[in-house]
A and B are shown apart, each in its own frame.
Chain A
Amino acid sequence: MIAMQEILTSIDVGLIFGIVAIGIYLTFRTINFADLTCDGSFALGAAVSATLIVDGVNPYLASIISLISGGVAGFLTGILNIKFKIADLLAGIIVAFMLYSVNLRIMNNSPNITLADERVIFSGMNTSLAIFAIISFLVLIMVCLLFSRFGLKLRAVGYNRQFALISGVNTNLMTISGVSISNALIALGGSLFSQYQGFCDISQGFGGLVIGLTSVIIGEKIFAFKKEPLIIISCIFGSILYRIFINIALHGSTFGIRTQDLNLLTGFMTIGALLIRKRCRNA
Chain B
Amino acid sequence: MLELIDISVGNILIGLSMVIRRGEYVLITGENGAGKTTLFNTISGIIKPDSGRLMLNDRDITNLPPYKRAVWISSVLQDPRVGTIGEMTIAENLYLASMRRKSPGQNKCMKKSIAFFKEKLKVLEMNLENRLDEKVRNLSGGQRQALSLVMATIADYELLLLDEITASLDPKNSKTIMNLVDKIVRDKGKTCLVITHDTDCIEAFRGSRLILSNGKVAKSTNMNS
Q: Which of A137-174 contact B (CB under 8 A)?
A: 149, 152-153, 155-156, 159-160, 162-171
B contact patch SS = loop
B61-101 vs A: 1/0 string, CB under 8 Å?
00001111011000101000011111110001001110111
In the complex the two chains form, is A170's CB within 8 Å of B67's CB? yes
Give the A interface residue count (CB, 8 A).
18
- Complex contact A166–B70 (CB within 8 A): yes
B42-74 residues at the A interface, CB under 8 angstroms: 44-46, 65-68, 70-71
In the bound assembly, the distance between CA atoms of A169 and B85 in angstroms comes to 14
Docked CA distance A231–B108 (Å): 24
The minimal Cβ–Cβ distance linking B111 to chain A, given in whole angstroms, is: 11
* B92–A167 CB distance below 8 A: no
Contact of A163 among B65, B83, B99 (CB under 8 A): B83
Contact pick for A153, options B68, B84, B96, B101, CB 8 Å = B96
- Which residue of the partner chain B has the closest CB to A171? B67
Which of B68, B70, B75 lies at the interface centre, i.e. has the most chain A CB atoms within 10 A of its CB?
B70
Interface residues of A, dominant DSSP: helix
Q: Which of A37-83 contact B (CB under 8 A)?
A: none
Give the chain B neighbours of A166 by CB distance below 8 A.
44-46, 66-67, 70, 75, 77
Q: How far is the CA of A163 from the CA of B44 in the complex (A)?
A: 11
Against A, the Cβ 8 Å flags (1 = close, 0 = not) of B125-159 are 00000000000000000000000000100000000
Enumerate chain B residues within 8 angstroms of A168, measured Cβ to Cβ.
67-68, 70-71, 99-101
Cα–Cα, bound, A167→B101 (Å): 9
A274 to B8, CA, bound (A): 47
Decide: A152 and B77 in contact? CB cutoff 8 A. Answer: no
Contact B67 A152, beta carbon cutoff 8 Å: no
Instruction: Find out whether the CB atom of B88 lies under 8 angstroms from the CB atom of A163.
Output: no
Q: Which of A159, A164, A171 is within 8 Å of B87, CB to CB?
A: A159
Q: Which residue of B lies closest to A156 (CB)?
A: B96
Shortest CB-to-CB span from B157 to chain A, Å, is 11
Q: Are A167 and B46 in contact (CB under 8 A)?
A: no
B92 CB to nearest A CB, Å: 6
Say whether A167 contacts B96, CB under 8 Å.
Answer: yes
Cβ contact within 8 Å between A165 and B66: yes
5 pairs, A vs B, C-beta closer than 8 Å: A149-B99, A159-B85, A165-B65, A165-B66, A171-B67
